[in-house]
Amino acid sequence: MKQQNTSQPDLRPKNYIGSTLLFVGIFVTATMVGILLILGMLTTFKIRWKIGYAWCAIISWMTKVFCGLTFEVEGMENFDPKQPAIILSNHQSAWETLALRYILPPHSVVIKRELLYLPIWGWSLLTLKSIVINRKNQRASLRSLLEQGSRYLNEGLWVLIFPEGTRAPAREVLKFNIGGAMLAHKTGFPVIPVVHNAGDFWPRYSFFKYPGVIKLKIGPVIESKGRKVSEINAEAEKWIAQTLKNM
């Protein structure tokens, strides 16, 4: 489901200093935290999660101080901490990959295999029970998602999936892959759609970040028991697309 991007050329002044400071801050702290997480394999997942959570909180603070960029969340009442769920979120920038780890309950996130090629950074993602998929082999990727996702949900973790599979331009929603809906159908765990407009302030593939307030909305629970995969997927995609259009 794709929306027409009618925005005018970006005439905002480039935030060279703030964006540079944020880049350096992320690079330096990510390396330090990556090492801590790898060493943290000798401890529990709970401790490693707290390390990752603290790092994302620091990045959120740096984003505010260096770039004047904050966020607000609507719909937290739709989260039941005692009921793990499958989060389906739109994907526009690097912001949500950091912020959602800070906002959501402890969870496993689906990541592409190529991230593991990054020394320290990529390796540390494995310590946080990430679900690694090979986008060049869809059948194997789906099998990994269903097997590992089911296991983590039954362990009490949530599962975060970006069903578009790649970052979309600001104000656009790409067609959803069915993996998340299939996981919900197989396990019976509910789906919660999440939408944000981070692409307006932290554009995909862009070095520059712009001041403002990112809005993130958490949708109503989508039950999966007794429903078809296509129905679950369509309901989540429709809610995200319509909500983003009105943000």
Residue 210 lies in a domain: yes
Supply the range of the domain harboring residue 39. 16-245
pLDDT of residue 11: 74
pLDDT of residue 7: 53
The DSSP call for residue 29 is: H
Residue 21 lies in a domain: yes
pLDDT of residue 4: 45
Task: Give me Rg for the CA atoms of the chain.
Answer: 18
Distance (Å, rounded) from C-alpha 141 to C-alpha 180?
A: 12
Q: In the structure encoding, which two tokens stand for residue 196, read together? A: 């944000």
8-47 confidence digits (pLDDT tens): 667 788 899 999 999 999 999 999 999 999 999 999 999 9
Of 147, 125, 144, nearest to 134 (Cα)?
Answer: 144
| Bridge partner residues of 89 (DSSP) | 194
pLDDT of residue 8: 62
Residue 7 lies in a domain: no
pLDDT of residue 3: 46
Sign of CA dihedral 186, 192, 193, 199: negative
CATH number of domain containing 155: 3.40.1130
Residues (pLDDT < 50) of the chain are 2-6
**What domain count does the chain have?**
1
